[in-house]
Structure formats: C-alpha cells, structure tokens
Amino acid sequence: MFHTLVNFFKTKEVRNKILFTLAMLVIFKIGTYIPAPGVNPAAFDNRQGSQGVTDLLNTFGGGALKNFSIFAMGIMPYITASIVMQLLQMDIVPKFTEWAKQGETGRKKLNNFTRYFTIVLAFIQSIGMSFQFNNYLDGALIKEQNVWSYLLIAIVLTSGTAFLMWLGEQITQYGVGNGISIIIFAGILSTLPSGLMQFYQQEFIGQDDVTFAWLKVAGLVVGMILLTVGAVYVLQAIRKIPIQYAKKQSHMRLGSQATYLPLKVNSAGVIPVIFSMAFFLLPRTLSLFFPDADWAQKLGNYADPSHNMGMVVY
C-alpha cells in the first residue's frame, strides 16, 4: 500500500491534483475561522444547550456555524438546490425536462440555473438563520440590531456559499474526485478530533475504572469497520439482468450472444441521506423561533436523530 502511494506521488499529474485538492481544503478550513462581520461568535459558547442545535450544521460545515464564519451556510444550499432541480426535471417543469434530454448543452443550462437558485436560496436562508439564531441567543449574536447589519451578514454568508460552490467546481475540474463531496467529507472529518477529545474527557479523565470506556472504544472501532464494509458492499453491489440477443449467422454457423445489464442495488447513492438531513433542518430551525414553547421543542426533538423519536422518524 505504501509503495502504491509513493508511485502516485511520482506521477506529476496525480501529484498536482492531490496537492491542489489539499490546498483548496486548507482554504476552506481557514474560512471556517473567519467570523462574519458584525457578529459575536462567542454567543454560542455562552448559551447553554446551544451545542445540540448547531451540531448538525457544524458537521457539514466543519465547525463554521459555531464560529458563525463566512462559511456558516456551508454547501447545504447548493445541495438543496441540486436535489430540487433533479426533482423538477421529472416532468414537473417541461423546460427542465427538455434540457435534461439535450445532453451536454442541456446539462450546462441546468447547472447554471442550479447556481442561480443556490444564490437565491442561500440569501434567503442566511437572513432567516441570522434572525433565528439571534433570537435564540437572546440578541447576543448580532452586535448592532439594524437592517444594514442583517443585510451585510446575509451578503457575506451568501458570498461564502458561492465561494464554496466555486471551490468545489475547481476541485472537480483540477483536483481529485467530486469537489462538493470532498468539501462535505472534509467538513465531517474536521469535527472528528474535537469529538474524540470530548469523548476522552468524559470517559477517561477523572474515572477510577476505565475498563468500560475501553470497551466503548472497541465497540466504536468494530462498529465503524462494519459500517464501512457494509456501505462499500451496498454501494458496489449490482444485480445482473441477463440479456439474450437474437441469433445471428456468423461464418456459416448460427450463434447467440449473451450479456447482462448491470443495475446498481443502491442507484440513488447518498442523495436520500443528504436530502433527509437537509429536510430535518427545517423543523429544528423552526423550533428556534419559539425557544420557550413545548410544542416547538418537541417538534425539534422529532427531527433530531440523536433523540429516540427522531431516530425512528429519520
């Protein structure tokens, strides 16, 4: 395996692609620490219980929301816009269906429309998110409570989403793999060290007997391995549908050619998972409007996979 990695870096083209991807991810991570203008990032730390509200968005944004950085919106508006565009192509909007059948030319038109839709969606969501989190944090998030402050924050957050969208396209074109997927993966991976540190502090520090803690570690490692193997198996699994061509004469003999049509077992990939996570953000966000209402908190819990009922619904 090590020899294979060395051979990868010996190839100039592959080496440049890997280095370019890493450079773009470094830029992404730096941006998660740059707070948006006119906000108080420490407001999340000062509000008890706010961690659970920001966990899901932080997972996709690499901790950008906790700092309320310029990348606080993350890439989620683009994902939502892409999924909506795919749904609209299913004979819902005739023009989009027509473009989808035009090959490369139609795909470019759909991609441009997706970008415009992302900008509009990000701007609306950024305004709503600024109001909601500021109300949830009792007005401690926004330093100056006026229209221009909210407008400036919305423009900056929308620009951050547009930049991440462009960053993903650059990785796709000049780097390794799909840029949007790489950014999401990097955001999830960047939250892993803090999660491990929190687990270590809770389970090991100040404990007389850490045997049960080590059993938890072993269980987590085994579970991660099984989940990874299972995910790869399902994603790579195909069902072979036999196809028998009509007999034809070849060199004075009759013969037939047998082949198969490979159909992926999980043809949708991870789109349902991402869409469901984006869909679950809506009730949890609405619960921020009414932080003291029991029904709002129950609604948020039903949409929180970390709760029992939320896991069942998810």
Residues 175, 26: contact at Cβ < 8 Å? no
Residues 129, 73: contact at Cβ < 8 Å? yes
* CA proximity to 29, closest of 224, 188, 220: 188
**pLDDT at residue 247 in the model:** 59
Mean pLDDT of residues grouped by 10 in the chain (314 residues)?
A: 67 84 90 86 63 60 76 85 82 82 83 90 86 77 84 92 92 86 83 80 78 86 91 84 66 60 78 71 66 73 72 73
Burial label for 35, CB within 10 Å (0-12, 13-18, 19+), is: middle
**pLDDT at residue 134 in the model:** 81
**pLDDT at residue 130 in the model:** 84
**pLDDT at residue 196 in the model:** 81
Q: Which domains does the chain have, with CATH numbers?
A: 1-190 (1.10.3370.10)
Residues 234, 265: contact at Cβ < 8 Å? yes
Q: Is 145 left (phi over 0), alpha (psi -120 to 50) or beta?
A: beta
Q: Is 77 left (phi over 0), alpha (psi -120 to 50) or beta?
A: alpha
